[in-house]
Amino acid sequence: MSTIVRVIVSMFICHVLLFGPTVYAGVVNRFEIEKYGDVIWEVPSNKKQIAITFDDGPDPVYTSQILDVLKEEGVHATFFLIGKRVEKYPEIVKRELKEGHEIGNHTYNHPSFHAISRHKVVVETRKTEHLLDPGHHTDYIKLFRPPGGTVTENSLKVLKKEGYKIILWSWHQDPRDWTNPGTDRIARHILTNIKNGDIILLHDSGGNRSQTVAALKIILPKLKQMGYEIVTVDELLKMHPRYNEFHETEMKKEEVPSFIE
Ligand SMILES: [Zn+2]
């Protein structure tokens, strides 16, 4: 390798190390984007309805324990599934569907979405979609939750094109159950913050989730006692003003923010 080539290559490496990749799409701002209805954090309404979501499954130990609790309480939840785990534990997904729960796409490999390329977003979502809906049913509800809840302008553009609704969670309803803060703390966090239209974030995988299972046994009867109806995300979305446009891929021209075209 000639000296000049070596100098150019090391300058390039230094530039990448110092400044990161040159093309980097920013994370969207909730206050700019929420009104368009493509990314949902919660669905405020007068109805005492809330949704409980579980991420990162299916899990061979904890998902079935959670399903048992939900069954006992007669409650339906929404599970955001990782494709490579769906391949490993398809029976658990079958049980989720058979028992009336809702499933959503949580990518195939759970990559970071901070600087993800559009191509990788397509690959990650389609691979999992193929597992969740091999027959390509027209009534398949396309809910997507990005890993870490990260939505960039780039990924939003792609996910919209793929026909997905991006479901995040209420900021006051993340009890960080994956850090195992204690059963009571998880339950207290959810119950003291609860509001109509909340989307609660829990995890059925990624480690020991016995605190999540135990907290659920406290939360579900208490929420019912408080008059809340626990529904799936799709049912909650029916309260959303933009619900009727759910499956539309195009937004009205004048309402399109500059980066969604
Ligand atoms: Zn996740």
Note the pLDDT tens digit of each residue in 44-54.
Answer: 889 999 999 99
As a whole-number percent, the residues of the chain with pLDDT over 90 amount to 74
Q: In angstroms, what is the span from residue 81 Cα to ligand 1's centroid? A: 8
pLDDT band of 248, cuts 50, 70, 90 = very low
Q: In angstroms, what is the span from residue 210 Cα to ligand 1's centroid? A: 18
Active-site entry in 76, 106, 189, 203: 203
Task: Quote the pLDDT of residue 260.
Answer: 34
d(CA 85, CA 205): 10
Q: Coil, helix or strand for 80? A: strand
Enter the DSSP assignment of 46.
S
Q: Specify the residue for token string 């080539």.
A: 5
Would residue 55 show up in a list of annotated catalytic residues for this protein? yes
Domain range 22-244, its CATH number among 1.10.510.10, 2.60.40.10, 3.40.228.10, 3.20.20.370: 3.20.20.370
Q: Which region holds residue 56: left if phi is over 0, alpha if psi is between -120 and 50, else beta? A: left
Amino acid at 49: Q
Active-site entry in 38, 55, 174, 177: 55
Q: Is the pLDDT of residue 18 over 50?
A: no
Task: Quote the pLDDT of residue 245.
Answer: 60
Q: In angstroms, what is the span from residue 36 Cα to ligand 1's centroid? A: 24
- The mean pLDDT value for 14-27 works out to 49
d(CA 78, CA 217): 17
pTM for the structure as a whole: 0.84
Domain ranges of the chain: 22-244
Lowest mean pLDDT: which of 30-39, 115-124, 159-168, 223-232? Answer: 30-39
Task: Quote the pLDDT of residue 5.
Answer: 59
Q: Coil, helix or strand for 199? A: strand
Q: In angstroms, what is the span from residue 98 Cα to ligand 1's centroid? A: 23
